[in-house]
Amino acid sequence: MVSLEKVSSNRVSTGYLTKYKFPSSSLGGLSTQFNIFVPASASESQDASVPVLFYLAGLTCNEDTGAQKGGLLNTAGTEGIAVVFPDTSPRGAGVEGEDDDWQLGTGAGFYLNATAEKWKKHYNMYDLVVKELPEVLKEAKLGLDFSRWSITGHSMGGHGALSIYLKNQGLFKSASAFAPACNPSKTPWGINAFTNYLEYRTRSSPPSEWLPYDSAHLLQNYQGDVNILIDVGKEDDFLKKGQLEPETISSQNKKGVEVRLQDGFDHSYYFISTFAPEHVAFHAKHLKA
């Protein structure tokens, strides 16, 4: 039994946003924090259980960023969906250089399991999100139904949401992303992260060890139906700098994938909060089908 400690709780929308912390085995025993919004419908009757949406935030963010600025909770509340906001990396791992660069280390866990010696004890955000956190939440008996689970995220977190969805066929009902890094094995943030976090021996370019974390590659090789919604702002500086490459997804013309380019929007939470209600409604449709 994991010791889940309540840090704070705030009334919002139709329920409460509560912050918890617990020692994470995925993160080498380090304490990690997450926020969870639970709508009132989860506790109205003893056997009520609500569907779950995970929101994965981007570089330099933490468990508060999406909860406070994402604009997801009013629609989640009226739709009766719980929303979980994990942190973006371990904190205080003590790895040399982990606080030197905003694109690597603290705040930049890339939702993968590190295999390189230096990082592998603590930098396992993939296991935290996909395995450990759901188990901790099930044990806590908060009225969540993990047979109805969807995932979304922004930027690095959009990469996390799409790659986790595509790596785990059947686990999630739907995935969505705001300005995701779609092809990280070939774009600067991803190349930097994968070079550091992932041990690789292959001489291919990109190394084959990186491909299980590359959404464009995973979609290319995916057999079966998908439910994916992606929004990207046309005025996003990271789009212009080649970090996102949404055409590596849209050009595949897969049924069930919608990629929308939005006029005038940038990479910020103004963009995310504008489209967040539509993303929550998209997930609600699939979670309640």
Residue 64 is classified by DSSP as T
The least distance separating ligand LAXINWYW from the CB of residue 78, rounded to whole angstroms, comes to: 25
Integer Cα distance of 113 and 148 in angstroms: 25
Residues 97-126 that bind ligand LAXINWYW (CB under 6 A): 102
User: Exposed, middle or buried by CB within 10 Å (0-12, 13-18, 19+), for 145?
Assistant: middle
Residues 269-288 that bind ligand LAXINWYW (CB under 6 A): 269
Residues in the interface with ligand LAXINWYW (CB under 6 A) total 11
Q: Measure the CA–CA gap between 147 and 161, rounded to whole angstroms.
A: 17
Residues 6+ apart with CB under 8 A from 46: none
Within the chain, strands assigned E span 5-12, 15-23, 31-39, 50-56, 82-86, 144-154, 175-178, 228-233, 257-262
Active site residue 267: yes
Specify burial of residue 221 (Cβ count, 10 A radius: 0-12, 13-18, 19+). exposed
Question: Which x/- pattern, by CB under 6 A, does the window 139-178 give for ligand LAXINWYW?
Answer: ---------------xxx----------------------
Q: Which is nearer to ligand LAXINWYW, 121 or 186 (CB)?
A: 186
Are 148 and 52 in contact, with CB atoms under 8 Å apart? Answer: yes
Shortest distance, position 56 Cβ to ligand LAXINWYW, whole Å = 10
| Shortest reach from residue 180's CB to ligand LAXINWYW, in Å | 9
According to the binding rule CB under 6 A, does residue 268 interact with ligand LAXINWYW? yes
Smallest distance, ligand LAXINWYW to C-beta of residue 66, A: 9
Does position 61 interact with ligand LAXINWYW (CB under 6 A)? The reply is yes
Is 155 annotated as catalytic? yes
Q: Choosing from 122, 159, 267, 283, which is the catalytic residue?
A: 267
Nearer to ligand LAXINWYW, 176 or 227 (CB): 176
Q: Alpha helix locations (H) across the chain?
A: 65-69, 73-79, 125-127, 133-140, 156-167, 188-197, 215-220, 237-240, 247-250, 269-287
159 is a catalytic site residue? no
* Residue 219 main-chain phi, psi, to 5 deg: -65, -40
Nearer to ligand LAXINWYW, 103 or 115 (CB): 103
Chain contacts with ligand LAXINWYW (rule: CB under 6 A): 58-61, 65, 102, 154-156, 268-269
Catalytic residues: 155, 236, 267
